[in-house]
Chain A
C-alpha cells in the first residue's frame, strides 16, 4: 500500500518527459543551452542592455512600438523592453535560488536518511511522503498569503516543497550505493563515513544532483511566473508573470492589439526559459547517465 502511495509521486510529468527524450539527438540540448545563455546574458547585463530604467515613467502610457520604445510602453508609461530584460533577473534568481535550495535540502534530508537508515530514515521519509502528497500550489499560495509576498520567502517555500522529491531520489541512490560490495570493502578497510560519502556516494549522486538542479530551476521559474500572475509575486520585483498580470488587468486589453507587445513578450519569455531548462535537463540526463541505470 505504501509503495503505491509513493509510486504516484515519482511519476511526475517532468520525469516522464526526461525519460522519453533520452532517445532524442543532441539538438534539443544545443537549443536549450543557447537559449539559456541568452537569458543569462540578458539578466547579467540588463543595466547595460536596457534602454531605460524599468521603473521610470519614461513615455506616454500605452505607446505603440517604435524607434524610442522598441516594444512600446505600458499603462503607466514604463518601457516594456527594459521591463523584460530586468524581468529575466527575477526569474533566474528565483529559479537558481529555489534549485540550489532544493538540491541542498534534498541532499541533507536524503543523505541523512540514506546514510543512517533505521528509524531516522523511516521518520524522515514519512515526512517526505506527506509533503509529496500535499497539493503544492495551494500550499504555496497559503504560505505566501500568510507571510506576505517577497522573493526570498517565495524562493525558500519552493525549495522546501520541491526538496522532498529530490530527497527521495538521493536516498534511493545512497541505499543503492550502500549495498555495493566496494563500499562494504572500503568499510572493512576502516574508511570513515565521510570518506565513504566523498569517494563512493557523491560521485554517484552528482549526475542526479545536476539534473535535479536544472529540473527544479524549470519548475521554480514556472511557479514564480504563476504566482506573480495570481498576484502573489513580490510587487517590488517586476517579473514576467507580474507584467502579464498588469497587462491583463487593463480593461479591454484583448480588444485591441496591445496584447501583442505587452502580454505576448513576457509570456513567450517565460515559456522559452522553461523550455530551455527542460531541454538542458534532458540533454544533461542523457549525457551524465547514458545507461539510464539510476532511479
Chain B
C-alpha cells in the first residue's frame, strides 16, 4: 500500500514539476504578451494566473497545487474556458465505457481461446492462434482501427464513422438509445479488443500450459475426472491467477490504446480530449488528464494485488 501511495505522490509531484522545470518555460509563455502562446481571453488568463501562481515561492505553489487537487480544482481549460475537472468529468465516462467493454471482451475471448489452445497444445488450431496472436499483438492500434474503419465504416457502411452517438439525436425509446450508443461503440471497442486480445491469449495459454504440467493435474486425471472438469475446475482456475493480476495491471495499457482509438474514431473520451488539447496547447487539461490516468492506473495495480490475494489461498495468508 505504501508503494502505491508513494507512486501516487510521485506522479502528482512530477505533474507539478514538469511544466516548471522543463526548458522553454511553457507556463510563463501563456501569460507573456510577447509569446506565441499568449492567452488573449483575460478572464481565462486571470484564472490561470491564480491557479499556477507563478509569482509565489515554489513551496507555496506546490502546497497550493496539492490543496487544489484535494478540492477537485485542476485549473481552467484554455480552449474550452471551463474548469478542467468538469471537462474531464464529461469525457471520462466515454473512455471508461470503451476501455471496460474492450477489456471485458478481450478477457472473455482471451481466456477461452488461450485455454483451448493450451489444452490442444501443438494442434493446428493452437499454432494458428499463437502465430496470429504474435502478429496482431504487434500491429499498432491506430492502424488496426484504420483498417476496420475503412472496411466496416467507409466501405461497407455498417457502422458510423465517428463520434460516440448520433449528433442531436432524439431517441424514441431506450432501446433506440442503447442501439445508437452500441453502434458507435462497436468499431472502437473491436479495435481495442483486438489490441488487448493477443497478450491475454498468450498469457492464458502460457500460464495454462504451465499448470497442465503440474502434478495435481495428473492426479486429477488419475482420479477419473472428466476432461471438462479438469480443464475448467482445476487447470483454468489456477491459470487465471496470473491473468487476474495481468488484467488489472494491464488497465494502463488498455487506456493508452483507447487514447489512440478515440483520436481516430473521434470518440468523445479522454483520448480525443487530449488530442484536441495537444493541438491547442491546453496545458491544464493535459495535466489534469495525466493525473486522472495516473490515479486510474495506480488504482488498477492496487486492485490487481488485492484480487490476486483474494483468489490465491497461498498468498491470502502468507
Contacts and interface: CB of A to CB of B under 8 A. Distances in A.
Check whether chain A touches chain B (CB < 8 angstroms): yes
A73 interface: no
Given A135-B294, A255-B154, A275 B249 contact: no
Contacts of B138: 17, 218, 271, 274-275, 278
B154 A146 contact: no
A2 to B, nearest CB: 5
Contacts of B260: 226, 229-230
B245 A4 contact: yes
Interface residues of A, number: 54
A13 interface: yes
A266 B50 CA distance: 45
Contacts of A1: 1-3, 305
A147 B19 CA distance: 9
A147 B22 CA distance: 7
Given A1-B305, A130-B6, A254 B153 contact: yes
B106 to A, nearest CB: 12
Interface stretch (A75-83, A98-106, A137-145, A283-291): A137-145
Most buried by B among A130, A146, A230: A146
A126 B3 CA distance: 9
Contacts of B149: 254
A57 interface: no
B217 to A, nearest CB: 20
Contact of A8 (B6, B140, B289, B301): B301
Contacts of B137: 13, 17
Contacts of B11: 130, 133-134
B85 interface: no
B84 interface: no
B278 to A, nearest CB: 5
Contacts of B286: 141-142, 145
Contacts of A231: 275, 278-279
B31 interface: no
Interface string A226-269: 10011110000000000010001000001100010001000110
Contacts of B10: 130, 134
Contact of A271 (B19, B140, B294): B140
Contact of A142 (B15, B161, B206): B15
B255 interface: yes
B4 A134 contact: no
Contacts of A2: 3
Contact of A137 (B146, B248, B259, B305): B259
B205 interface: yes
Contacts of A225: 140, 142
B165 interface: no
Interface magnitude class on chain B: 35 or more
Contact of B3 (A5, A19, A138, A222): A5
B138 to A, nearest CB: 5
Interface in B291-307: 293-294, 296-298, 301, 304-305
A5 B305 contact: yes
A21 interface: yes
Interface in B90-130: 130
B3 A142 contact: no
B135 A11 contact: no
A289 to B, nearest CB: 17
Interface in A3-52: 4-5, 7-9, 11, 13, 16-17, 19-21, 28
A133 B301 contact: yes
B57 interface: no
A230 B19 contact: no
A138 B274 contact: yes
A134 B153 contact: no
A107 interface: no
Nearest to B304: A8
B134 A13 contact: no
A274 to B, nearest CB: 5
Interface of A: 1-2, 4-5, 7-9, 11, 13, 16-17, 19-21, 28, 126, 129-130, 133-139, 141-143, 145-148, 218, 222, 225-226, 229-232, 244, 248, 254-255, 259, 263, 267-268, 270-271, 274-275, 278, 282
15 contacts: A13-B199, A13-B250, A16-B206, A134-B297, A135-B290, A135-B296, A138-B259, A139-B14, A141-B278, A146-B24, A225-B142, A226-B141, A226-B260, A229-B264, A254-B150
- Which 4 pairs of residues, A with B, have the shortest CB-CB distance? A8-B249, A254-B154, A13-B199, A137-B256
